[in-house]
Amino acid sequence: MKRNARIKETEFEKQQELIVYYEKKADQERAELLAAHLGVTVTSEEAERNKARFALAFTDHGLALTGDQLSLCGDFVHMLPRLRYDNLTHEILVKAGKLKNGKEHPTAVDATAGMGEDSLLLAAAGFEVDLYEYDPIIAALLKDTIERSKMDERLAEIVKRMHVHEENSVKAMLQRAKEGDIPDLIVLDPMFPGKKKNSLTNKKLQMIQQFERPCEDELGLLDAARALNPLKIVIKRPVKGPYLGEVKPAYSLQGKTIRYDCILRGNS
């Protein structure tokens, strides 16, 4: 079988194991639009929902990805303690992303947005953040999380600085480079395989990775970021992991399990 044919078949199989589900009539239109966007079935029947391995379900708490006895629903409320100024200034990512250009609201690109928690920290620190997420399922969860957060006065001012783009970040960064649309900061977090654990957090990560695999072209991701030539590129790595693309950073900030490698304009 040709490789392209195999890719198409895999995508078809993924569609067959995912369904969009809603209970309330008020959610029907959004559910139908999402299902059409994803190219999957939509239903309000629980029996139909149970036939699929995974469901994107419209619930009272927000859009949730359910399956394998797990449920993943974006929630920025649990991040509130970390967003307090006295805690935020101690976040390693915020320290790593700090710039000296004096802008009140510097610009950032999160090229590997995922569920948006890193971008939330940057937005809380004052950045205008463009979040790039190529997987439409993860992007749908992320967009829903941000829209719900806009209705929470504790988060509204922060998330209004977060702008989601459902597209390939490598292509987007290369296009921005051509247009001269240069951010001050780029953050890269190519998902690295974790050690096998039984924690709920790791099981949910495994569920996400059913749809979004770890970055297979790390060098391409870094090359696109370097082509855009921001003031700083911050790369999230395992604490003992190799440098991304074997590019030595200007400096690194290290936590217990992760490390942020910082590449400055001029040393990239």
Query: Domains in the chain, ordered, with CATH?
Result: 3-60 (no CATH), 77-264 (3.40.50.150)
Q: State residue 102's pLDDT score.
A: 75
Pick 196 or 148 by higher pLDDT: 148
What percentage of residues in the chain have a pLDDT greater than 70?
85
Instruction: Tell me: pLDDT of 17 over 90.
Output: no
Pick 62 or 210 by higher pLDDT: 62
Instruction: Tell me: pLDDT of 256 over 80.
Output: yes
Q: Any alpha helices (H) in the chain, and if so which ranges?
A: 3-16, 28-38, 46-49, 80-83, 85-88, 92-97, 117-124, 136-149, 156-159, 169-179, 200-208, 218-228
According to DSSP, residue 247 is labeled P
Instruction: Tell me: pLDDT of 6 over 70.
Output: no
Instruction: Tell me: pLDDT of 11 over 50.
Output: no
- CA 119 – CA 129 distance, rounded (Å): 7
Q: State residue 127's pLDDT score.
A: 97
- Which tokens is 50 given? 């149970």
Here the contacts of 130-134 (C-beta below 8 Å, separation 24 or greater) are: 130/163, 130/165, 130/183, 131/162, 131/163, 131/164, 131/165, 132/165, 132/167, 132/168, 132/169, 132/172, 133/164, 133/165, 133/166, 134/166, 134/167, 134/168, 134/169, 134/212
Q: State residue 101's pLDDT score.
A: 76
Pick 209 or 230 by higher pLDDT: 230
Q: Residue 195's pLDDT band (boundaries 50, 70, 90)?
A: very low
Q: Residue 13's pLDDT band (boundaries 50, 70, 90)?
A: very low
**What's the mean pLDDT in 213-228?**
85
Phi and psi of 44, rounded to 5°? -115, 5
Q: Is the pTM of this model over 0.85?
A: yes
Q: State residue 131's pLDDT score.
A: 99
Instruction: Tell me: pLDDT of 132 over 60.
Output: yes
What percentage of residues in the chain have a pLDDT greater than 90?
75
Q: Residue 7's pLDDT band (boundaries 50, 70, 90)?
A: very low
Q: Residue 202's pLDDT band (boundaries 50, 70, 90)?
A: low
3-state secondary structure of 187: strand
Q: Are 70 and 207 in contact (CB under 8 A)?
A: yes
